[in-house]
Amino acid sequence: MRRFRAECRRELYIDLLNGGFTAEPPEGTFHDWPGHEWLEAHNRCHMEIRNIEFETTDWATVEPIAHDGETGVAHWRTRQFSDIRVRIVDYSPGYLADHWCEKGHVLLCLEGELHTELKDGRVEVLRPGMSYQVGDGMQAHRSYSPHGAKLFIVD
């Protein structure tokens, strides 16, 4: 696999300076190329999604399941793909999670406003089009939505 990635990297050199690409890399070693740091990081840091056939999801047809918070309720529309859970979550106004979560997520705010409290006391606020990413066991967090929110979550 490593050899294949190296060959692909040489065959399709991405020139970050002009925003284009060329089939042939410039002269010199890989480490002389502009943007090589980005290419190296890109080639070794990626999510592996395995054993999932292509399919579409009409989220309106996925039955919501209610999960009570300390206050308010979260309605989860959930699909499970192998070991990856994908959800649309609607928080009611005033929703406060009833636990500190240590699970990793990629979370995108679609509507409303989400306040995420971290155990260290910080509070991050997401509005539509904003996301957060956190790894498993990295930082305990819990959600609060004063006016309600709709989220797309992958974990």
CATH of the domain at 77: 2.60.120.10
Per-residue model confidence (pLDDT) at position 2: 40
For 11, residues 6+ apart whose C-beta sits below 8 A from its C-beta are: 23
Per-residue model confidence (pLDDT) at position 44: 59
Same domain? For 84 and 138 the reply is yes
- Is 33 part of a structural domain of the chain? yes
Per-residue model confidence (pLDDT) at position 76: 98
For the stretch 82-122, pLDDT in tens is 889 999 999 999 999 999 999 999 999 999 999 999 999 99
Q: Determine if the pTM surpasses 0.85.
A: no
**Domain range enclosing 39:** 2-44
Number of domain units in the chain: 2
Same domain? For 84 and 148 the reply is yes
**Confidence tier at 1 by pLDDT (50, 70, 90):** very low
- Is 49 part of a structural domain of the chain? no
- Is 75 part of a structural domain of the chain? yes
Per-residue model confidence (pLDDT) at position 69: 97
**Confidence tier at 48 by pLDDT (50, 70, 90):** confident
Instruction: Report the phi/psi class of residue 12: left, alpha or beta, with left for phi > 0 and alpha for psi in -120 to 50.
Output: beta
Per-residue model confidence (pLDDT) at position 33: 54
Same domain? For 30 and 75 the reply is no
Same domain? For 119 and 79 the reply is yes
**Confidence tier at 51 by pLDDT (50, 70, 90):** confident
Taking 50 as the threshold, does the pLDDT of residue 5 lie above it? no
Per-residue model confidence (pLDDT) at position 13: 44
Tell how strand 65-68 and strand 131-134 pair up.
Answer: unpaired
Same domain? For 29 and 82 the reply is no
Per-residue model confidence (pLDDT) at position 4: 37
Per-residue model confidence (pLDDT) at position 18: 46
